[in-house]
Amino acid sequence: MTTWLELIGKKTDAFVREMGSVVMFFLQTLRWTASRPFYFRNLLRQMEQIGVNSVPVVLTTAISTGMVLALQSYTGFKRFGAQSLIGAVVSLSMTRELGPVLTGLMVAGRAGASMAAELGTMRVTEQIDALYTMATNPMKYLVVPRFLASTIMMFFLSALGMYIGILGGYFVGVKVLGTNPVTYINQSINNTEVQDIWYGLVKSLVFGAVVGLIGCYKGFNTAGGAEGVGKATTGAVVVSCMLILILDYFLSALLW
Amino acid sequence: MPEPMIEITNLHKSFGSLQVLRGVNLTVEKGESMTVIGGSGSGKSVLIKHIIGLLFPDRGQVKIAGQVLNNLDEQQLNELRKKFGMLFQMAALFDSLTVWENVGFGLKQHTKLSDREIRALATEKLALVGLKDVEDKMPVDLSGGMRKRVGLARAIAMDAEIILYDEPTTGLDPITADAINDLIVGLRKKLGVTSVAITHDMHSAYKISDRIAMLYKGEIQEIGTPDEIRNTTNPIVKQFITGSAVGPITAD
C-alpha cells in the first residue's frame, strides 16, 4: 500500500516539476522573443521547414476528412431526409473543429518531432554549448524562430485545411452523391459564420504555439545520447498531441 | 606580478547528491598552457565548463582576467565569452552550416563584416590549421580529424585570448592525434594565447603543456611541469601517468 502511494506521489511530483519547467521555458521564450537581436533568416527557414513542407500532409488529411465527412453524414442524414444539410455539417466541422485539430496533430507529428530530434541532437553533440561559448544565446537563435514559425504557420495551414476539407466535402456531396449544388452551397454559407472561421483560427494559433513550445522544450532538455534523442522525439509528439486534444475541449468551451 | 588570466578558488560543484568538484584551486598565467589530466568521471569536463561559464560554482569562484564569473549578467558574460575559443571533444560543428559558415559563425554574429570578408577570414584560419578547399563542405562529409581541425579554426576565428581544449586528441588515430598536438603547440607560438586543455592522453599532455595538473576525486592532486609530473612521487599521479590498473585509483 505504501509503495503504491509512494509511486503516485513520485509521479505527481515529477509531473508538477515538469509542468513548472515547461512554463518557465515558455516565459523565457516570450522574453527572448521580445529582445534583440532577432534572427530573421532563421525564422524564414523554419517557416519553410515547419509550414511549407507540411503542406502535403495537411492537404491529404484535410481532403480525406472532408470527403469522409460528407459521405458519412449523407448515410446518416438520408435516414430522416436531411441530405441538404451535409454542406453545413462539413463546413461547420471543418472550420470550428477538424481543420485546426487535425492540422495541429499532423504538424505535431511531422514538425514537432523533427524539432525535438534536431535540437536534441544538437544538445547531445554539444552544439548548444558551442553556441553559448560563442556568445550566442541558443534560446534566441534556435528556440524563438521555431516557436514563432510554428505559431504563424499553423494559422495558415489550418486555413488551408479548412478550405480543402470543404472542397473535398463539396466534391463528394455534389459530384459523387448527387445532392443539389445550389442547396449545398447555400446551406453551407447560411450556417457558417465568419466568426466560426476565426474561432477555428484562434485555436490553431494556440496549437501552433503548443507544438513549437513542446518540440523545442523536449529537444532542448535532451539528455543521454541517441536514446535520449529518441525519447525526446516521442515525448514531443505525445505531449503536444495530448495538449492539443485537452486544450481543444477548453478552447471550445471558452470560445462559445 | 601581473594578474593571472584564470584563477579558480575553492571551487565546489555537485549534481544532486553527487559531489563532482570538492575545492579545486588552479591558477593559469597569461600565455601559459595548462593541462588538466584525470580519469573519466574525475570532473575535468565539469571544471572546464566552469571556466567559460557553461556551469556556475555552488561554492568558490572563477575569475577570468580579474572578473568574477558568477557576478556577471548575461551581457557581461557574453562579452567575456568573446575572449574565449573552445574546441569541443567531438568538435560540435553546427551540422546545418557549411565549414566556412561554422568557422565564421562568431564573426557573423558579432561583427558587421560582409559574407565575402568572413569567408576570406575563414579560409585564412582554415589554412592555419592545415585545411584548404573545404569551405563549402558540410561537417558530415569530413573525417574525425578534419572536424577537429575545423573546430580549432572556429575556436581561433575571433582572435581568442584563451583557448579551451576538451579532450583534443580523443577518438583520433595516433598520427592524427599527434598532428593535432603539433597544431596546438604551433598555434600557441604563433598567437601567444593562454590555453587550458583537459585530457587523459599523457603523450598529448607532455607535448602541449607548460604545466600539468592532476584532478582526482574532485581535487587537484598535484601541479607541476611535465618533467615534475613524470618524476612524481605521489602514488595516485604515478599510477595514472603509467596507466596501471593496480594502485590507489580503482576503475569503477
pLDDT per position as a tens digit, B166-217 = 999 988 888 888 988 998 998 888 888 999 999 999 999 999 999 999 999 8
User: Is A234 within the bounds of a domain?
Assistant: yes
With respect to residue A230, please indicate whether it lies within any of the assigned structural domains: yes
- For chain A, strand residue ranges (E) read none
B64-123 residues touching A, CB cutoff 8 A: 74, 78-79, 81-82, 84-86, 88-90, 92-95, 105-106, 109-110
pTM for this predicted structure = 0.90
Q: Is residue A8 part of a domain?
A: no
Residue B251's pLDDT is what? 64
* Chain-chain contact of A135 with B52 (C-beta, under 8 angstroms): no
ipTM of the complex: 0.91
Q: Which residues of A touch B89 (CB under 8 A)?
A: 126
Has residue A25 been placed in a domain?
A: no
Q: Which of A128, A134, A139 to mutate to test the interface with B (most CBs of B within 10 A)?
A: A134
Tally of structural domains, chain A? 1
Q: What's residue A9's pLDDT? A: 92
CA distances from A253 to A8, A92, A199, B47, B208 (A): 30, 16, 11, 53, 68
The residue range of the domain holding A59 is 39-254
Does the distance separating the beta carbons of A126 and B89 come in below 8 Å?
A: yes
List C-alpha distances in Å: B118 to B75, B100, B141.
24, 8, 22
Residue in this structure with the C-alpha cell 587523459, named with its chain if needed: B200
Contact (CB, 8 A) for A251 and A203: yes
At B113 the three-state DSSP class reads coil
Per residue in B24-45, pLDDT tens? 999 999 989 999 998 887 889 9
Backbone angles phi, psi at B135, to 5 degrees: -50, -40
B-facing residues of A in 60-79 (CB < 8 A) are none
Which residues from chain B sit within 8 angstroms of residue A137, using beta carbons?
74, 78
- A223, part of any domain: yes
Q: Distance of alpha carbon A121 from its chain centroid, rounded?
A: 23
Helix (H), strand (E) at residue B64 = strand B59-64
Which residue from B minimizes the CA distance to A121? B95
Dump pLDDT digits (tens) for B72-129.
Answer: 888 899 999 999 999 999 899 999 999 999 999 999 999 999 999 999 999 999 998 8
Our measurement of the distance from residue B70's CA atom to the centroid of its chain's CA atoms, rounded to an integer in Å, reads 20
Question: Residue A206 falls within a domain, yes or no?
Answer: yes
Could you identify the residue written with the cell 558587421? B112
Residue corresponding to grid cell 452551397: A185
In a domain, A60, yes or no: yes
pLDDT band at residue B163 using 50, 70 and 90 as cut-offs: very high
> Residue A241 domain-assigned?
yes
Which residues of chain A carry a pLDDT beneath 50? none
